[in-house]
């Protein structure tokens, strides 16, 4: 036991690749990309942009207000999908059993789901970025 | 050097059901071990204790002398579980890369995929794979971390004959690198392929249990007719009689002395399956 050198994979690359995998998993499900990326962008384009200069309360334009609303909507969607639905499906398929047998720390697994949520919902935060087309991503 | 995997008087209860009753064994580095047993014998339970997926009710499970939940121990182990799903929307090479990132010194992605024979499917989504291909993907995920010990729980379930044969060759290839392989199976010929069963080699078990199988056809026989014969087990199916014995000559002499009419006599070395059945039925009777 004393002779054993610490032989563990570094956590940060693990977190990075797990986060990337979590992203790909959902990105390829149109039901997800459509509702959490495309819809908020579309709502903002239809409702937000037209009256973005209107002041809703001192110092806050309707544009900023609605942008924040759509961002929250999008993040909430990610939460539902990423934490709710995927965790449930993965448990149903016993993926969690396999994960528990690997050296992946449970915390990294959870963090990876949390990590990409804000990142993924950034398109609504910058609606002028070309809206991502919710089709299969061919990397 | 502590053994690669160790159960010390381990007991596991699921409610009132006792799945393991004080089991102890050591698996040394470099060994190839097959766990045999009928369904419900506790093979999967043993493995999940060794991997720290379940806690023993009493006793201990150790991996490299460490708690199986210790990530240092787990980083040296690759696993293929009997029942487990993997994310459907990832491509083969992506999920192999993902699992490689869990391990300190993984093997190259292409090598892991090649070891599992999935080169052509590297760019396919998991959900597009057939059952056998998926099983091979699990194998790729188990070996991609270049583990010292490989746990395979019923790795060939649902594979056709050809698939199983090539799969066993892949496992042998991995074992040939000097690695430890622990597999559970109920396909006996897999364990018969030079792998070690429990604490004995297949030959030892066969000789211990029953050396020869005597088969013949005879009309109107009952179990009573075999009382006093030196057989380990006897089975009568319609008019077909099968006896397992270490002393076939004595059995036949006695049968002839009793004047039992025999046709289609056949004496052969018992295979592992006979030995296995004889061993497990023995246990039930004891």
ipTM: 0.72
For residue A98, being part of any structural domain is answered with: yes
The string of pLDDT tens digits covering residues B117-176 is: 899 999 999 999 988 889 899 999 999 999 999 999 888 877 777 888 888 888 888 888
| CATH 2.30.30.190, applies to B1-76+149-156+179-199 | no
Which residues from chain B sit within 8 angstroms of residue A16, using beta carbons? 101
Asked if the C-beta of B51 comes within 8 angstroms of chain A's C-beta atoms, the answer is yes
- DSSP for B11-57, written as a single string: EEEETTEEEEEEEEEEE-TT-EEEEE--TTSSHHHHHHHHTTSS--S
Tokens read off for A86: 């995927």
Name chain A contacts of B149, Cβ cutoff 8 Å.
none
Residue labelled with tokens 């583990």:
B147
Strand partners, B22: none
Residue in A14, A24, A97 nearest the CB of B101: A14
Average pLDDT of span A31-40 = 85
Q: Where, residue-wise, is CATH 3.30.70 in chain B? A: 205-285
- Number of domain units in chain A: 1
**Distinct helix (H) and strand (E) counts, chain B:** 10, 12
- On the CB side of B101, how many CA atoms lie within 13 Å of its CA? 19
Instruction: Give me the residue from B75, B86, B94 closest to A8, CB to CB.
Output: B75
Structure tokens at A49: 């942009």
pLDDT at B282: 41
- Tell me A71's DSSP state: H
In a domain, A126, yes or no: no
The boundaries of the domain holding residue A86 are 13-121
- Which ranges in chain B are annotated with CATH 3.40.50.300? 1-76+149-156+179-199
Residue in the block written with tokens 């001192």: A58
Phi/psi zone of residue B135: left (φ > 0), alpha (ψ -120 to 50 degrees), beta? alpha
Which chain B residue has its CA at the smallest distance from A1's CA? B65
pLDDT above 70 as % of chain B = 82
Fold of B205-285: Alpha-Beta Plaits (3.30.70)
Question: What are the tens digits of pLDDT across the range A74-115?
Answer: 888 888 877 778 888 888 888 888 888 899 998 898 888 877
Using beta carbons and an 8 Å cutoff, which residues of A are at the interface with B?
Answer: 1, 4, 6-9, 13-14, 16-18, 20-21, 24-26, 28-29, 90, 92-95, 97-98, 100-105
pLDDT value at residue B139: 92
CB contacts of B53 in chain A (<8 Å) are 97, 100-101
Does residue A33 fall inside a structural domain? yes
Buried b or exposed e, range B230-263, using 16+ CB within 10 angstroms: ebbbbeeeeeebbbbbbebeebbebbeeeebeee
pLDDT single digits (tens) B27-50:
888 888 888 776 677 888 888 899
With CA atoms as reference, the chain B residue closest to A14 would be: B101
Instruction: Kindly state whether residue A104 falls inside one of the protein's structural domains.
Output: yes
- Name the β-bridge partners of B26: B6
| Separation between Cα atoms, residue B109 and residue B254, nearest integer Å | 64
- Cβ–Cβ below 8 Å for B99 and A1: no
CA distance B156 to A53: 65
């Amino acid at each position: 036991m004393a002779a054993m050198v610490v032989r563990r994979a570094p956590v940060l690359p693990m977190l990075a690749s797990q986060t990337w995998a979590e992203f790909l998993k959902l990105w390829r499900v149109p039901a997800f990309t459509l509702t959490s990326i495309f819809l908020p962008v579309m709502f903002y384009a239809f409702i937000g942009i037209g009256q973005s200069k209107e002041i809703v309360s001192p110092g806050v334009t309707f544009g900023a207000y609605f942008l924040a609303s759509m961002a929250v909507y999008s993040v909430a969607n990610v939460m539902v999908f990423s934490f709710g639905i995927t965790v449930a499906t993965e448990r149903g398929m016993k993926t969690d059993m396999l994960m528990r047998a690997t050296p992946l720390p449970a915390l990294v697994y959870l963090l990876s789901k949390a990590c990409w949520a804000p990142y993924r919902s950034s398109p609504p935060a910058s609606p002028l970025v070309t809206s991502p087309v919710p089709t299969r991503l061919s990397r | 050097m502590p053994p690669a995997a160790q159960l010390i008087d381990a007991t596991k209860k699921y409610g009132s059901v006792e799945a393991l009753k004080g089991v102890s064994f050591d698996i040394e580095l470099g060994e190839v071990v097959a766990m045999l047993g009928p369904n419900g014998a506790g093979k999967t339970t043993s493995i999940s204790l060794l991997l720290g997926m379940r806690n023993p009710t009493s006793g201990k499970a150790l991996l490299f002398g460490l708690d199986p939940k210790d990530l240092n121990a787990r980083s040296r182990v690759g696993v293929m579980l009997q029942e487990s799903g993997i994310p459907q929307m990832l491509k083969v090479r992506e999920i192999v890369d993902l699992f490689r990132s869990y391990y300190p010194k993984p093997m190259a992605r292409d090598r892991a995929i090649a070891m599992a024979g999935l080169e052509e499917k590297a760019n396919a989504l998991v959900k597009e794979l057939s059952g056998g291909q998926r099983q091979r993907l699990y194998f790729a995920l188990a070996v991609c971390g270049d583990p010292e010990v490989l746990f395979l729980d019923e790795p060939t379930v649902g594979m056709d004959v050809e698939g199983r044969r090539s799969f066993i060759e892949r496992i042998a290839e991995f074992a040939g690198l000097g690695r430890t392989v622990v597999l559970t199976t109920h396909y006996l010929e897999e364990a018969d392929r030079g792998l070690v069963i429990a604490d004995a080699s297949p030959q030892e078990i066969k000789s211990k249990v029953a050396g020869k199988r005597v088969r013949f056809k005879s009309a109107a026989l009952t179990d009573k007719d075999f009382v006093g014969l030196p057989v380990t087990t006897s089975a009568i199916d319609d008019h077909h009689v099968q006896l397992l014995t270490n002393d076939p000559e004595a059995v036949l002499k006695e049968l002839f002395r009793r004047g039992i009419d025999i046709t289609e006599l056949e004496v052969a070395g018992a295979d592992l399956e006979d030995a296995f059945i004889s061993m497990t039925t023995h246990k039930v009777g004891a």
